[in-house]
Structure 1
Amino acid sequence: MHKTRLSPNGPAISALALGAASLGSVYSDVSQDNADATVHTALELGVNFIDVAPYYGLTKAETALGHALSGIARDRYVLATKIGRYGDKDWDFSRDATLRSLDASLARLGCGHIDVLQCHDIEMGDYRQLVEEAIPTLHDLKRQGVIGFVGITGYDLPLLERVAVEHNVDTVMAYCTYTLQDQRLAPVARRLQAHGISVFNASPLGMGLLTRRGPPDWHPGHASVHAAAAEAARLCEAAGTDISRLALQFALQGAIQNGMATTVIGSSSPANMRDNIAALSQPIDQALLAQVEAILAPVRDKGWDVLPGNGGKAGK
């Protein structure tokens, strides 16, 4: 599997990362046995980067992941978790909350140390608290060797880029901005890479937008975006495939070409994990891709910050 190194002396991480939110039964009930099997399958097939957060399942995802990783050599995986977001409308980027959150995550995960500690959804919390308390605290922890890298996550690309460069963070995770429908992350990723900052692409299916079933009711995309994605999904189904497969191939392979370190995809079953890995190397049907891109062209790069839809991001 293609791997990219985090900083000149950092660990090499897989081009596909396991997003562990699903393990916390965020989308459907996931047994601990299934969580264990998913994590073990990912590691066996070469996926060594795992992303989680206290917010996912309100700590259930970290707990399930910690159980799944029990007994596995620590050098077999690179682990990222987050601080700052603790509920649908609960952000706290204070120093005290950051330190308490890290201690709690370490206890749930049972992993000894965190490789990448990220400030979660930075556009939603208090900006001054973020830059005056949370990020400096993470830099202190990095200097002490408690964590390996300082990261930020979110949706607002201009904000992510500015904070990353001005505050010397190591990693940026952006979601829903490098997909078949929205590709704005690509030039940002190349600029951040020039600063030595690793970029993680998350939610390559646009939080359900680019699936046969379509987005959930709370999805913040505009109705015109939903309609175009549904038309593209019908085209793919008529061609004997699933739009999610094409979307994963596009995002995974395109992320590598644009210098992104990894693509984070949620998974809660070994079979889904295998399908995701296959999308890394399966040739893209270029004729079908051209047809889908033509359908999506009128709404290309129209995120919900550009074309507001269903009330903004879920949880706001």
Structure 2
Amino acid sequence: MEYRRLGKTELKVSVVSYGAAPLGNEYRQIDISEGIRSLHLALDLGVNFIDTSPYYGRTKSESVLGQGLAQIDRNRYYLATKVGRYDLDEFDFSADRVAQSIDKSLRRLRVDYLDLIQCHDIEFGNLDQVVNETIPALQKAKQQGKVRFIGIAGLPLKIFCYILDRIEVDTILSYCHYSLNDTALEDLIPYLETKDVGIISASPLSMRLLTNLGSPDWHPSDDETKQVCAQVAAHCRCQGGDLAELGMQFSLANPKIHSTLMGTANPDNVRKNINCLTSTYNANLLAEVQEMLKPIHNRTWISGYPENN
């Protein structure tokens, strides 16, 4: 496993990190024991950064994660969760709710402190409230020893500049913006480097778009994007390749991204994803896939308030 410095935090995090959303049944109904085995395997293979949220499974992900980590030495991993988003349409970035949320997460996760607390999907909130109320509340939690570092997370890339131009945070978590079909995050990296911010990329397979399974029913991308990605997956199969493997290899290859979250509750997929760090990709197939994806490259969707996109 390779480790990189997570911005100004000085944490040395694994290049592949564990995204615990699947433990909350976000993609399918899981077997809890299998999900916990996937977590333990990831740790055994060198993963040391774990990310979750009370939103994932509406607290189920945190509860299962707490169960899985109960017998693991706390010094073996860095743990991140989030505040602000609690249900599909339930957002609350107020200082009081943030403080309550942290305490509840600590209990569910069965830990005394969090290495990283992140404001979740801030594009659904008032960004000035995040600057003037939410982040100061997180700073207070840091002073109390409940959290070590503070980050922000969301889809539209402009939200990161808005916040970072006004207040200091330690990390950003971007999703669906560094993958075969969307590399928009790359253009933001020079700015993020001037702030010495830790860069976490999530959904390297675009929330299942870049897999043989295809996108889940709730996926917000447009029909053309889904169709093109399905065609690309079929092309990879015909060439003896696997789009998910190629997608992971591509996403993990950028040294400027400090950690990429893999979300899976399947031990076999944990091993496959981590193997992508050292396996050799098919350069010809990659070129073919990138050509096929050109019509929809960097195509995204509106998330949150229009003015935050």
> Does TM-score exceed 0.5, indicating one fold?
yes
Residues 233 and 32 (structure 1), Cα distance of their counterparts in 2 relative to 1, 3 Å cut: closer
Q: Which moved more, 1:78-87 or 1:233-242?
A: 233-242
Contact 2:6 2:199 in 1 (8 A): no
d(CA) in 2 for partners of 1:104, 1:117: 13
Name the aligned partner's letter for residue 293 of structure 1. Q
Matched, 1:14 2:10: no
**Aligned partners of 1:129 and 1:241: how far apart in 2?**
47
SS of the equivalent of 1:205 reads coil
Worse-superposed segment, 190-199 or 23-32: 23-32
How far the C-alpha of 1:83 sits from its partner, in A, is: 0.3
Number of paired residues?
A: 306
Sequence identity (%): 40
Q: Cα distance 1:123–1:312, how it changes in 2: closer, same or farther (>3 A)?
A: closer
Change (3 A) 1:213 1:9: closer
**Correspondence for 1:196:** 196
1:224 alignment partner, SS class: helix
Cα displacement (A) at 1:7: 4.1
Looking at structure 2, the residues matched to 179 and 164 of structure 1 have their Cα atoms a distance apart, in angstroms, of 24
Does 2:68 align with 1:71?
no
Alpha-carbon distance in structure 1 between the residues aligned to 2:237 and 2:23: 29
Q: Map of 1:1-316 to 2, 5 A cutoff?
A: 1-8=1-8, 10-254=10-254, 256=255, 259-305=256-302
In the alignment, residue 134 of structure 1 is paired with which amino acid? T
Go from structure 1 to structure 2 and tell me whether the alpha carbon gap of 1:9 and 1:180 turns closer, same or farther (over 3 Å shift): closer
Q: Deviations over 1:48-77 (max 9, x none)?
A: 000000000011100000010012111100
Moved more, 196-205 or 161-170: 161-170
Is the CA contact (8 Å cut-off) linking 1:38 and 1:267 kept in structure 2?
Answer: yes
Cα distance in 1 between the residues matched to 2:243 and 2:175: 19
Unaligned runs of 5+ in 1: none
Alignment check: 8 A CA contact 1:39 1:68 kept: yes
* TM-score of the pair, normalised by structure 2: 0.94
SS, match of residue 232 in structure 1: helix
Gaps of 5+ in 2: none
- Change over 3 Å in CA distance of 1:225–1:23 after alignment to 2: same
What SS does the aligned partner of 1:130 have?
Answer: helix
- The two structures have a TM-score, normalised by structure 1, of 0.92
C-alpha contact (below 8 Å) 1:164/1:172 kept by paired residues:
no
Range with bigger deviation, 153-162 or 81-90: 153-162
Amino acid at match of 2:70: S
RCO (CA 8 Å, sep 6+): is it higher in 1 or 2? 2
Instruction: Output one character per residue of 1:157-198: Cα deviation in whole Å (capped at 9) or x when no partner.
Output: 011222134211100001101110000001212320221101
Report the Cα distance in structure 2 between the residues aligned to 1:6 and 1:289, rounded to whole angstroms.
28
User: Contact conserved, 1:304 with 1:312, CA < 8 A, in 2?
Assistant: no
> 1:17 aligns to what SS in structure 2?
strand
Deviates more, 1:165-174 or 1:210-219: 210-219
Matched-pair contact (CA < 8 Å) for 1:154–1:174:
yes
